[in-house]
Amino acid sequence: MTILGIDVGGSGIKAAPVDITTGELLAERHRFDTPQPSKPKAVAETVADLVHHFEWHGPIGVTMPARVKKGVTLTAANIDKKWIGTNAGQLFAQATGCPTLVLNDADAAGVAEMSFGAGKDRMGLVLMLTFGTGIGSGLFIDGILVPNTELGHLKLHGDKAEAYAADSARKRNALTWEAWATRAQEYLDHIEFLFAPDLIILGGGISRPKRMRKYLHLLHTQADLLPAQLQNEAGIIGAASAARILADGHDFGF
């Protein structure tokens, strides 16, 4: 079964058809710049352009840098604030003519890793953490997504944890990888105290193999700690995989 996955980010919107039985992209990924300002109508038009590029007719899955409940975006991270309260699922469906499932971008990355990557066949409590501009999170219990967690917003040193330990904090403060790993370790300690996960998957820009070699050996957790495997394709793959429930004729609860 093939479904088109679309990953909406603050700087770019990318898409590809995905074989959701294997997680493989069936065509080269295509990307357009995110419109600036990234207001709903403009982004929906760009998503429609991607659908037309692939001459796609059928269900689509779309990630958003936002908390999403029943297709409505309730927050807006790295995207125009006009998205808050927008029925994104309805908007994209109208723009593309395709049945549409919308979910949070970190949740989508987690779905991809649980289906085809580092979390495949793992039971128990699994936590996907994406380190980039912020810290995104995807929480799974026995393979079932608990949607819309915002664990980058846990308090650490009197502020949001992502302000202290995201990859953007490393860049902003010109930290060495060793110094950043100390901050990341504090965050992971806090996460483990609160949730006691069985597996933590580290994703986002920090999961690139060349970067992992600079700091992974400095992190220590009681949980298994693994790098994400799907890199920049995780959002596309996860969006397509989540949208399978539309192809199966079901509604969705997130």
Domain range annotation of the chain: 2-104, 118-229
pLDDT of residue 43: 98
What pLDDT was estimated at residue 106? 95
For residue 150, CA distances in Å to 104, 125, 139, 146, 164 come to: 10, 16, 10, 11, 15
CATH 3.30.420.40 correct for 2-104 = yes
H helical segments located in the chain: 40-53, 88-96, 105-116, 161-165, 167-172, 177-195, 209-215, 234-242, 244-247
Mean pLDDT (the chain) is 94
Between CA 46 and CA 56, with CA 50 as vertex, the angle to 5 degrees is 135
pLDDT at 251 over 90: no
Phi-psi region of 201 (alpha: psi -120 to 50; beta: other; left: phi over 0): beta
Encode 58-86: b = buried (16+ Cβ within 10 Å), e = exposed: ebbbbbbbbbbeebbbebbbbbbebbeeb
Mean pLDDT (whole number) for 132-149: 94
191-247 pLDDT tens trace: 999 999 999 999 998 999 999 999 999 999 999 999 999 988 999 999 999 999 765
Q: What value does the mean pLDDT take over residues 148-159?
A: 95
Distance CA 52, CA 235 (A): 20
CATH topology of domain 118-229: Nucleotidyltransferase; domain 5 (3.30.420)
Q: What's the pLDDT band for 85 if we cut at 50, 70, 90? A: very high
Is the pLDDT score of 151 beyond 70? yes
Q: Which residue has the tokens 């929480």?
A: 139
Assign 133 a pLDDT band (cuts: 50, 70, 90).
Answer: confident
Question: What amino acid occupies position 59?
Answer: P
What pLDDT shows up at residue 205? 86
Specify the range with the lowest mean pLDDT, choosing from 54-58, 105-109, 242-246: 242-246
Rounded average pLDDT over 1-7: 96
Instruction: Answer whether residue 252 shows pLDDT above 50.
Output: no
What would the mean pLDDT of 2-6 be, rounded to a whole number?
A: 97
pLDDT of 154 > 80? The answer is yes
219 close to 181: Cβ distance less than 8 angstroms: yes
Q: Do domains 2-104 and 118-229 have the same CATH topology?
A: yes
224-235 confidence digits (pLDDT tens):
999 999 988 999
Residue 82 has pLDDT above 90, yes or no: yes
Q: Which residues pair with 4 in a beta bridge?
A: 17, 60
